[in-house]
Amino acid sequence: MRYRYIIFLVFSITIFISCDDEYEKAVIGTYEVNRYKTINEVQDEGIDNLKVIICQNKKIKISTDKAITFGEWDVYDDGDRTVIKFMINNKIAEGVVLGEGQQVGIRIYNGEKLFYENLAEIYLEKQKSP
């Protein structure tokens, strides 16, 4: 009886860990801006050139025409959707992961916290691997 419990426990932990890995693997890659909304509805060319690299080691690199910033990321499933968090310089931006495989996009609702003060929402599209 005790062995059944141990086997069940190991199986449950394996499933739990593999689910996290699945979400994490799906978001790793290079992203570029697909579209965005600004708070004052004025377009900003700097936002168009923003690039986000999500690395396997939970690090993130955000590059613009003016600067390169590093931080960390995390992803989890809240039951209804896959949520991603970017943490840079004690600021947190949160969004949702959309799509699967190479057709992954990330919509961030509070981009002003990380990217530009004028940025209300940004949709990042994963670039295809060469």
- Domain CATH code at residue 29: 2.40.128.10
Residue span of the structural domain in which 69 resides = 2-126
Mean pLDDT (whole number) for 87-97: 90
Two tokens at 6? 């141990």
User: For residue 26, is pLDDT > 50?
Assistant: yes
Query: 74: exposed, middle or buried (C-beta count within 10 Å: 0-12, 13-18, 19+)?
Result: middle
103 vs 4, which has greater pLDDT?
103
Q: Which pLDDT value is given to residue 85?
A: 94
Segment (H or E) for 62: strand 59-63
Considering its fold, how many domains does the chain have in total? Answer: 1
The whole-angstrom separation of Cα 36 and Cα 76 is: 24
